[in-house]
Amino acid sequence: MKSQNELGVPIPVSKPLVVRTIKEVTKAQREYALEKTEYNMFSFPADLLFLDFLSDSGAGTMTDLQWATLFHGDESYGRNKGYYVLLDAVRDIFERGDHPKRVINLIISGETDTKKLMDELYLTSYEGGFVNGGVHQLSHPNTFIVPQGRCAEYLLFSTIAPILREKDPNKKYYIPNNGHFDTTEANIAANSIYPVNLFSTNLMDEFPFDQMDKRNPFKGNMDLNELEKLIQEKGADSIPLIYITITNNTAAGQPVSMNNIKKVQKIAKKYDLPLFFDACRFAENAIFIKEFEEGYQDHSIPSIVQEMFSYVDGFTISFKKGLANIGGGLFFKDRGIFHKKFSTKEDIGILLKEKQILTFGNDSYGGMSGRDIIALASSIYETVDLNSLRRRIFLVREFARKLAENAVPVILPAGGHAVYLNMDKFFEGIDMKIDDFGGIGFTIELLKHYGIRACELGPFAFEWDKKTPEQRKSILNLVRFAIPWNAYNTSHIDYAVAAITELYNNRKKIPKVKISRGAELRLRHFQTGLQPVYGD
Ligand code: F0G
């Protein structure tokens, strides 16, 4: 008799306690709604969908523990109790590895010992890490809570750009990344800095789907040769910082190996450059390292996360990609390279804090409600739970495997949070040019016929028609199916696979798409009107 672990399917790790009924919507109703919303995926009413793979951002199902913690939320304007809990949760997860303090338990358990609360939570002092505490957070701030990831990006780039310009108004600055997300890219470009993508050279290599449980080529890595080349060509003083996105969302959600992170850090150190993570999906990245990188099989997820973050000088993060529905932050090492480099006239932390207060609210809530802050703190612990991560990775992998078995061109191996179709291959041999936006045509048809929403991350989203031939080289032609945490199970995946396969088999009927309104808008995929053009 096989043991429970030998059955070849994962042991269930959760069960839903709240059920939301999906509405019955006809194809004709969806067609009408598509027309009314200018065929833009982001404008389509979510309540009329069967399945929504537009994003995993903020769309996850909260756990019973998070709901329970949410009731402890404190809406005080100054220093709500969740602020202290969140700051210490960040220390626990990103710095303390296998030795968390979990002071959150003082709140959840209803601790009434005032001295204990003062000594262990409210009046503790920290310095030297990513999260100064007490008076140190005031005299040299390094922690900035904001509503979501792009706010942290805005805060960072809009604050460093004037400092760079003051140093040399005519200099061109470049920020390399293993793959900038669109908001990161846009926030950098909006501050007249050049974002540069250094994708791994093996990204589009073939990979056999039956090997996905056995090995992983870490296609999310940064191209180290190109990084050295860029620094040499432009000069280290033209690179304000280096960014690594974990996992690499723009590069098909692929993970980054610890070895690659270490090597990038070595290069950053050599040139005295700050290294930052775009850390949205740090937990998914950690499980890939545990599963597939030599030497890490016996390491816990928290210890892997701790090691990953020991190599960087700071990070921006959207907490919405984990189990929380809202939240983000900017963190940098107390008096590290970043702090030294950008504290030319004034302390960079003080400048960032001023801007945080001006734009999002005072530093203890940063634009979030007290309920959200404490629910977020509790979610960070659950995001690194090994069993939840295993289930998450299994579902994404199963989605990719089933598509591959049906010969649908899916990027393999599957990444951490989403499945990506390779639209160049999808339309191979068919009259569909890159600027016919076939990926958009596919998403329109998928929504119209089957009530499923996906997201084009290709020539339309990354604005092919507005870019130079050089810039076009870093645009991949993908459609993404992102899987929100704990929202879907195998039955949802099976319906999606059947629908996608049917459309693939009828790909000649997929329309080309014209932009009918707003082609010139920045971040246009959220705003433009579209029009499918059907052939005969
Ligand atoms: N960085 C990465 C890698 C992201 O995937 C996202 C968001 C952000 C930054 C910005 O965070 O949305 O909280 O402001 N990605 C979502 C997605 C929207 O669907 O991939 P945000």
The domains located in the chain, with CATH, are 16-48+418-482+506-533 (no CATH), 136-383 (3.40.640.10)
Which atom of ligand 1 is found nearest the CA of 245?
Answer: 3
For the Cβ of 207 lying below 6 angstroms from any atom of ligand 1, the answer is no
Q: What angle do CA 436, 440, 444 make, to 5 degrees?
A: 125
Q: What is the DSSP secondary structure assignment for residue 278, as one 8-state letter?
A: E
The residue whose C-alpha atom lies closest to atom 4 belonging to ligand 1 is 181
Q: Is 377 left (phi over 0), alpha (psi -120 to 50) or beta?
A: alpha
Instruction: State how beta strands 455-457 and 452-453 pair.
Output: unpaired
Provide the 10 A C-beta neighbour count for residue 105.
Answer: 10
Q: Mean pLDDT of successive 10-residue segments in the chain (536 residues)?
A: 87 88 97 97 97 96 95 96 97 98 96 97 96 95 97 98 94 96 92 95 92 95 98 97 96 96 98 98 98 97 98 98 93 97 95 96 96 96 95 95 97 96 96 95 98 95 89 88 95 97 97 94 88 88
* Residue 270 Cα to chain centre, angstroms: 28
Q: How far apart are CA 106 and CA 100, in angstroms?
A: 14
Q: Which helix (H) or strand (E) holds 375?
A: helix 370-383
Strands (DSSP E) found in 271-363 = 275-278, 314-318, 328-332
Provide the 10 A C-beta neighbour count for residue 491.
Answer: 8
CB 64 within 8 A of CB 482: no
pTM (2 d.p.): 0.95
* Residue 320 Cα to chain centre, angstroms: 8
* Residue 338 Cα to chain centre, angstroms: 22
The residue whose C-alpha atom lies closest to atom 9 belonging to ligand 1 is 149
Q: Is the peptide bond before 443 cis (omega within 30 degrees of 0)?
A: no
Task: Report the separation in Å between the CA atom of 320 and the middle of ligand 1, taken as the mean of its atom positions.
Answer: 8
Q: Is 33 exposed, middle or buried (0-12, 13-18, 19+ CB in 10 A)?
A: middle
Looking from the CA of 179 toward its CB, the CA atoms found within 13 Å total 25
Tell me the sheet residues that pair with 248.
254
Instruction: State how beta strands 174-177 and 194-197 pair.
Output: parallel
Task: Report the separation in Å between the CA atom of 96 and the middle of ligand 1, taken as the mean of its atom positions.
Answer: 26
- The Cα-based distances of 238 to 160, 242, 338 in angstroms read 13, 11, 14
Q: Which of 280, 455, 485 to mutate to test the pocket of ligand 1 (most atoms within 8 A of CB)?
A: 280
**pLDDT value at residue 474:** 78
Radius of gyration (C-alpha) of the chain in whole angstroms: 23
Tell me the sheet residues that pair with 331.
143, 315
Task: Report the separation in Å between the CA atom of 149 and the middle of ligand 1, taken as the mean of its atom positions.
Answer: 6
CB 283 within 8 A of CB 302: no
For the Cβ of 401 lying below 6 angstroms from any atom of ligand 1, the answer is no
Which atom of ligand 1 is found nearest the CA of 320?
Answer: 13
Tokens standing for residue 518: 């707003």
Q: What is the DSSP secondary structure assignment for residue 219, as one 8-state letter?
A: T
**pLDDT value at residue 523:** 79
The residue whose C-alpha atom lies closest to atom 2 belonging to ligand 1 is 181
Q: How far apart are CA 185 and CA 177, in angstroms?
A: 10
- Residue 90: closest CA among 54, 49, 60, 133: 133
For the Cβ of 278 lying below 6 angstroms from any atom of ligand 1, the answer is yes
Q: Which of 183, 417, 455, 481 to mutate to test the pocket of ligand 1 (most atoms within 8 A of CB)?
A: 183
Spatial CB neighbours of 504, under 8 Å, sequence gap ≥ 6: 406, 407, 408, 426
Spatial CB neighbours of 498, under 8 Å, sequence gap ≥ 6: none
- Residue 176: closest CA among 311, 275, 288, 320: 275
- The Cα-based distances of 274 to 128, 149, 199, 200, 333 in angstroms read 16, 19, 20, 21, 10
Spatial CB neighbours of 55, under 8 Å, sequence gap ≥ 6: 455, 482, 484
What are residue 453's phi and psi, to 5 degrees? -110, 130
Q: How far apart are CA 478 and CA 414, in angstroms?
A: 13
